Amino acid sequence: QVERVLAQADSWQFDSWRLRDITHGHPLSALGFYLIQRAGLIERLNLRPAALARLLRHIEAGYNDNPYHNATHAADVLQTLHVTIHGAQLHVHYLDQLGLLAAYFAAIVHDYGHPGLTNDFLVATSDPLAVRYNDKSPLENHHAAAAFGLLQRPELDVLTPLSKSERAAFRKQVIEMVLATDVKQHFALLSQFNNTHRLASFHMAPKPVDDMERLLTLQLAIKAADLGHLGEELEVHQRWLSSLEEEFFRQGDKERQLGLPISPLFDRGKQGVSKSQVGFYDFVALPLLHALCSAFPGTQPLMTCFMGNYHYWKSVEGNATTLAQKRASVSIRPEGSASQLPDLDREGKHKS
């Protein structure tokens, strides 16, 4: 049963919750080992399978049991990044074997040790992570630094066979990809990507313009993967949204207890993120997907998946607006107003 679900890892839509259930709570280590092994990276990079398995289990155990930012989310991001890389054919010219391993590793660790709180909250409360990283992307810096801390342990260091320069290249790519997942970097990275790719030509297997553009593309790919639940089957997508909403509400509860302003959408007494997503699709998700698909047409199926749920949320919003308008018209109509309407015949003409 596990093998059957893992075999679906090449699909544009994937249920990581199901993988979590059938692996008894080990979706990240199971999927991570499966993809790395299937790509031939263990053999080609001379990795130690036992050390890799140990490392993946340690990383998985280091994810907190948050409603949203947990090991299952990391598995979901890994799977979406995997199909994005292969759909865009980045594995042909953008990524060599070491680069592919680094991309997978970045997805695996991108939320490692996440406390279930936002960067803004950490900064506002002078959390030790915010102090350590000078208020600049404390979460993302922590994810990367803590993950590389594991690699310093001999029994977990899967990079032992690599040269010093290879380890440095691996480290640089992982760090840059993980730091790109800070939402505050979104618009700057997207603008930079669009400016770079205005002159890009379309190839079946595109080649990077230079190393900067290569890294920028990988950063955009992991950002799209980080939003991957927006394109999952509706029921799976809604489950992720409910989980995110609960995590937000828990932070809102803390903000209330500490006397801090409650962040938008974090107040249990008000509408949360599970009620509507149209604005987020319009201003964040779809521009990102459009940029990616324009530069790499092979990722178009991902946009199609996103659009399916976007149309659902548009219909929900439209129905809510219509209902509100009907209620408003009823509440402001004076008594007896029906008798004051023009007397029309069946064709809608005034009777003489």
Residue 43, C-beta contacts closer than 8 angstroms, at least 6 positions apart: none
- Please state the residue numbers annotated as binding site: 69-73, 110-111, 226, 277
Fold of 2-325: Catalytic domain of cyclic nucleotide phosphodiesterase 4b2b (1.10.1300)
Per domain, the residue ranges of the chain are: 2-325
Q: Return the structure tokens found at 238.
A: 């809604």
Q: Return the structure tokens found at 105.
A: 């590793």
User: CB–CB of 226/284 below 8 Å?
Assistant: no
CA–CA distance, 100 with 106 (Å, rounded to integer): 10
- How does DSSP assign 283-321, residue by residue? IIIHHHHHHHHHH-GGGHHHHHHHHHHHHHHHHHHHHHH
pLDDT number for residue 201: 52
Check residue 281 and report its DSSP letter.
Answer: I
- How does DSSP assign 211-240, residue by residue? HHHHHHHHHHHHHHHHTGGGGS-HHHHHHH
CA–CA distance, 72 with 74 (Å, rounded to integer): 5
* Bridge partners, 344 (sequence order): 350
List the catalytic residue out of 26, 69, 82, 237: 69
CA–CA distance, 117 with 203 (Å, rounded to integer): 41
pLDDT number for residue 338: 37
Q: Show the low-confidence residues of the chain (pLDDT under 70).
A: 198-205, 320-352
Residue 85, C-beta contacts closer than 8 angstroms, at least 6 positions apart: 91, 95, 100, 103, 221
pLDDT number for residue 295: 92
User: CB–CB of 192/150 below 8 Å?
Assistant: no
Whether 142 is catalytic is no
How do residues 264-281 score in pLDDT, each as one tens digit?
999 999 988 988 799 999
If one counts every other C-beta atom within 10 angstroms of the C-beta of residue 328, the result is 10
- Please state the residue numbers annotated as binding site for Zn(2+): 73, 110-111, 226
